[in-house]
Amino acid sequence: LPLWLSHQLGLEGLSPAVSSGIILCFWALSTWILAQVSSSVYRYYTICQYFRCFPQPPLQNWFVGHLGMVTRHREESLKYIISTVATFREAFLIWRGPFQPVVSLCHPDYIRPVTSASAYVAPKDDLTYGFFKPWLGDGLLVSEGDKWSQHWCLLAPAFHFDILKPYVKIFNQSTDIMHAKWRHLCAEGSTYLDVFDHISLMTLDSLQKCIFSHDSNCQEKPSPYISSILELSVLITKRFNRFLQHWDSLYFLTEEGRLFSEACRLVHDSTNNVIQARKKVLAEQGPEAFLKNKGKGKTMDFIDVLLLAKDENGKSLSDKEIQEEANTFMFEGHDTTASGISWALYNLAHHQEHQDRCHQEIQELLRGHQPEEIEWDDLSQMPFLTMCIKESMRLHPPVTIVVRKCTKDIQLPDSRIIPKGSVCLIHIFGTHHNPAVWPNPEVYDPYRFDAQNTQKMSPLAFMPFSAGPRNCIGQNFAMSEMKVVLALTLLRFHVLPHEKPAQRKADLILRAEDGLWRKVEPLQDPSSPETHLQEVPQN
């Protein structure tokens, strides 16, 4: 055999020692390859056996699994998810390639064991959230374990009602700027607007004021910082959909990788400049004087809260940690809220009777208000608008999925086990469209969230801000902003559908392909009753 192998490898003429060494290396390499193939085959067999108890939709083929069917995140994929959930109403299996099964959960009873587990047992999946690390570092979105717990405790005061109250005035001001733009465009004859585009800029404007106390005028003129935030979101979305770019060593050699690094640098420098300037003021004035000055009408912003935060041992956050949390809030706070507001306008445009009732509710609430603005106490006085917002976020949740990786076996209610090391997908979109959870789930019906109906509802039937120990820390901030923006918009404008149906697209957040276009008509006299139009069928 050695002579035959030597002949096949063309080693005649070499000394016996060299020839033997090459043959030995060949045998070693062949043995390693055979072991790897055998191991992969055995692993595949074991995985298949372990997950046989979970039903699965038909595979595209054995090699790609369900990739492309559920991961393109376009309208057809979302319809496929709705169809799959209608068939498998509790849990089902999808395959990302031949060797990676993902358990998808789409029923409250089956989601509960994962969301009720500690952040140590069901942390976020490294692959999914790792792309954010160069931008957001170890902020709340990405961090795990003790660091996440410590930072959550330090950040929680930033979202206390006493801190949020002054932000309502900022929401009013940013909305006023957007509405002035809309009136100007309507006066020029441009009544069809991509509301998502406008609202995204408006939420970024508000966030800069709430986080940094900085007015960039980004709704009226370009801002390099805002452009970089938007560019980073687009680049991460593209990277998710390009398998070969999942490796950092390859990605940062590409043109898009270099653009990503440059945008990160600009965002980090901008945030750090604000932190250093604020630290200088704090050092000059001292904490007591600093807080006293803030009490004289100046808003306590997010950076202020982080700079003053101390843990039980008196330790403060480092500059880098403050930067990471500020960048995380900036990212998580603008797109998700913009999505919630935009899809609410979309749904109300198609259901004029609900839009009219919202208009009437706000009109009565603000009767006699001078100036015409929403105040903190008004937020709890909009029951029907709140119902409409919640129903819109059920049909169109800003975040459609949350991915967890199980570090221990997790038992489901029917005794099936999600094994340790498995990737688990909490399907928010699937749960919100599950006919076993919501009767007639594709119908927009705000009365689902009437007080009498919500008493019978599982807390996990509706989870636009996720659920469990890692739910969204800023959900009260987001709901407050959505209520202010929608209340003023429905008071001042009549919103109508666009002739072209919207095509949903689930990237980092749920948006629309080619923008979310609506027709807006200014109400010349907000105090006059609006003509009640017939309901427009939903596209």
- The answer to whether 218 is a known ligand-binding residue is no
User: Within 13 A of 386's CA, how many CA atoms are on the CB side?
Assistant: 14
Determine the Cα–Cα distance for residues 245 and 241; give it in Å rounded to an integer: 9
Q: Which long-range contacts (CB under 8 A, 24 or more apart) does 260-269 make?
A: 260/134, 260/135, 260/232, 260/235, 260/236, 261/134, 263/228, 263/231, 263/232, 263/235, 264/134, 264/135, 264/232, 266/224, 266/225, 266/228, 267/135, 267/225, 267/228, 267/229, 267/232, 267/327, 268/323, 268/327
Closest CA to 46 of 95, 99, 125, 104: 99
- The set of residues, in sequence order, having a beta carbon less than 8 Å from that of 310 and lying 6+ positions away, is 154, 316
Determine the Cα–Cα distance for residues 203 and 260; give it in Å rounded to an integer: 22
By the 8 A CB rule, do 502 and 523 touch?
A: no
Q: In the structure encoding, which two tokens stand for residue 242, read together?
A: 């390009």
Return the amino acid letter for 396: H
Across the beta sheet with 192-194, what order do the strands follow?
A: 192-194, 517-522, 493-496
Determine the Cα–Cα distance for residues 176 and 199; give it in Å rounded to an integer: 12
By the 8 A CB rule, do 99 and 40 touch?
A: yes
Q: In the structure encoding, which two tokens stand for residue 48, read together?
A: 């298949």
- The set of residues, in sequence order, having a beta carbon less than 8 Å from that of 336 and lying 6+ positions away, is 398, 399, 472, 478, 509
Strands 101-105, 423-427: pairing is: parallel
Question: Cis (ω within 30 of 0) for the bond into 464?
Answer: no
Determine the Cα–Cα distance for residues 182 and 250; give it in Å rounded to an integer: 44
- The set of residues, in sequence order, having a beta carbon less than 8 Å from that of 532 and lying 6+ positions away, is 352, 353, 356
Residue 406 has a CB neighbour count (10 Å cut-off) of 22
Determine the Cα–Cα distance for residues 493 and 487; give it in Å rounded to an integer: 10
Residue ranges for the binding site? Answer: 472
Residue ranges for the binding site for heme? Answer: 472
